[in-house]
Amino acid sequence: MKKYLAVIGVCLLAACTTIGINSTKEGLVEYTGAQRDIFTKGKAERVMSLEALAGRSGLYGVGPVEGFDGEITVLDGKPYVSKVRETGKVLEQSHHHGAFFFVWTEQAQWRDIPIPVAVKGYIDLQNFVKTQAGGAGIDTSKPFPFRLTGTPTEIKWHINVDRTEGKAVTQELFLKSKAPYVTRNEPVDIIGFYAEHHGGVFISDSAPAIKRDSGLKNAIHIHFVAHADKMTGHIDNIALGSGMVLHLPKL
């Protein structure tokens, strides 16, 4: 009886750990928190611990570390967390981090789609992802994940770093709190989320790759993990290389 109760207790604890995330399931993704909340709250406070998602194979997710202290990428259950320190950028591979918003999916099977050479940049990629997803039977009016593998010609990316000096977060301080980097001709894994109606939630209302007066809308949030050093970050712009592959969920 005692052994039975102990097992029940462990199960209840596991359930509480998962249920403890105040999240929303929509389309093929789940998410918690919202980017826009930092402007109403004046700070980038934790809404979840990455530990609540530990141990899940097939888990892919992206989000920013609480307090503008880095970027989180999860690939097939493995966490990659980049931060900026006095010595430069560093990488941590543990679940002991909190996010001020996070979006994730659990996918065991993916279909591979070669990316044609005509798909060259960020906007091309966004359009290609939507077209291919629709053709694969995915409801593109709802959020869905996608992956890319290969060697981009160039990635412009950033890691969040707190430059608010303790002041309430504004749009200006938000844009300032980023350390920019450029990576060229390095093999990477990319995880992304497409959503047309979640601007200010887990999709930025704007993206450096999209001109403000273009009339185009940002609909993707993409992170990468480099094969060589496992460094990760948020992609602001990308020039795709030849032979890259798009991976979409198998329905």
Looking at the predicted structure, is the pLDDT value of residue 211 above 70? yes
Regarding pTM above 0.85, the answer is: yes
d(CA 109, CA 88): 36
Q: What is the pLDDT of residue 57?
A: 85
Residue among 51, 128, 158 nearest 95 (CA): 51
Count of domains for the chain = 1
Q: Is the dihedral of CA 139, 143, 147, 152 positive or negative?
A: positive
Q: Could you tell me the pLDDT band of residue 88, with boundaries at 50, 70 and 90?
A: very high
- Residue 8: inside a domain, yes or no? no
Full residue range of the structural domain in which residue 92 is found = 23-249
Indicate whether 139 belongs to any domain.
yes
Q: Give the CATH number, domain containing residue 62.
A: 3.30.1330.80
Whether the Cβ atoms of residue 83 and residue 137 lie closer than 8 Å to each other: no
Range name among 13-17, 85-89, 135-139, 210-214 with the lowest pLDDT average: 13-17
Residue 101 domain flag: yes
Q: How far apart are CA 57 and CA 191, in angstroms?
A: 15
**Quick check: is 42 in a domain?**
yes
Q: What is the pLDDT of residues 22-46, one digit of tens each?
A: 999 999 999 999 999 999 999 999 9
pLDDT at site 21:
85
In a domain, 2, yes or no: no
